[in-house]
């Protein structure tokens, strides 16, 4: 049974470790803030100049001036700090972000990622994605396995303009957790009721099956 968006986010949150500085992209990744495991103390960074993002606000907590890089309202935590975009990108480019969890339109078997534009469609800008995929110590892509039109999103080669090359470490979808390695894509986990064959049918490159393959638990 395929995972829901919230479950993909919950599984991605399991990769976080105490003391990490983490950047969350737009889409499924923003949901990760609501699923940080108890006892894990992380600091969420936003490239629009906020360090210390809390969970999504309740109706009573909404502050229209308190937003993340995706222009979504957020909450702050004790110790939250604010700064310019220049300082924010200095953090990212300086290698101070431990993990970036991003969405994507395409990911290749080499770890290339395309997530900022589709030719012919209007986009507001590339945001901080290009800096994040090169500056973060680890890049996790959290996305649906196939596009709305049924086309595969994990490809041998990306067809859309690239955001970064050989930068993705792990892919998490509603079907599976897949590691990007020098030897190719390794299927590490499958969703409950999903078989490796199901995942392969939704993936263009040939997957290698981990000898320790297990079921995703969220």
State the Cα–Cα distance between residues 201 and 7, nearest whole angstrom: 21
| Strand-pair partners of 170 | 140, 179
pLDDT exceeds 70 at position 122: no
Starting at the earlier edge strand, list the strands of the sheet with 138-142: 76-82, 50-53, 43-46, 21-24, 99-102, 138-142, 170-172, 176-181, 184-190, 208-215
Q: Tell me the catalytic residues.
A: 47
State the Cα–Cα distance between residues 114 and 23, nearest whole angstrom: 18
Range 17-33 average pLDDT:
93
Residue 69: what pLDDT?
Answer: 82
pLDDT exceeds 80 at position 149: yes
Residue 121: what pLDDT?
Answer: 73
For residue range 177-186, list pLDDT tens digits in order. Answer: 999 999 999 9
State the Cα–Cα distance between residues 50 and 91, nearest whole angstrom: 11
Share of the chain above pLDDT 90, in %: 81
State the Cα–Cα distance between residues 34 and 38, nearest whole angstrom: 11
Asked if 29 and 115 count as a contact pair (C-beta separation under 8 A), the reply is: no
Stated pTM of the model: 0.94
pLDDT exceeds 90 at position 130: yes
State the Cα–Cα distance between residues 52 and 148, nearest whole angstrom: 34
- How close are the terminal C-alpha atoms of the chain, in Å? 13
Backbone angles phi, psi at 76, to 5 degrees: -110, 160
For residue range 59-89, list pLDDT tens digits in order. Answer: 999 999 998 888 889 999 899 999 999 999 9
């Amino acid at each position: 049974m395929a995972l829901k968006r919230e479950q993909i986010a919950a599984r991605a949150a399991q990769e976080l470790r105490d003391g990490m500085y983490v950047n969350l992209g737009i889409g499924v990744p923003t949901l990760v803030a609501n699923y940080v495991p108890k006892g894990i103390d992380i600091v969420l960074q936003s490239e629009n100049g906020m360090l210390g993002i809390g969970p999504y606000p309740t109706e009573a907590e909404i502050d229209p001036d308190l937003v993340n890089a995706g222009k979504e309202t957020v909450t702050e935590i004790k110790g939250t700090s604010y700064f310019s975009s220049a300082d924010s990108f200095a953090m990212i480019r300086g290698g101070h972000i431990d993990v970036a969890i991003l969405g994507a339109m395409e990911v290749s078997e080499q770890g290339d990622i395309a997530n900022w534009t589709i030719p012919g469609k209007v986009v507001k800008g590339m945001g901080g994605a290009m800096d994040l995929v090169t500056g973060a110590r680890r890049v996790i892509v959290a996305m649906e396995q196939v596009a709305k039109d049924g086309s595969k999103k994990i490809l041998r080669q990306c067809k859309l303009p690239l955001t970064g090359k050989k930068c993705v470490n792990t892919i998490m979808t509603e079907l599976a957790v897949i590691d990007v390695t020098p030897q190719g894509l390794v299927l590490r986990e499958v969703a409950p009721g999903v078989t490796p064959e199901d995942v392969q049918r939704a993936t263009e490159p040939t997957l290698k099956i981990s000898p320790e393959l297990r079921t995703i638990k969220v």
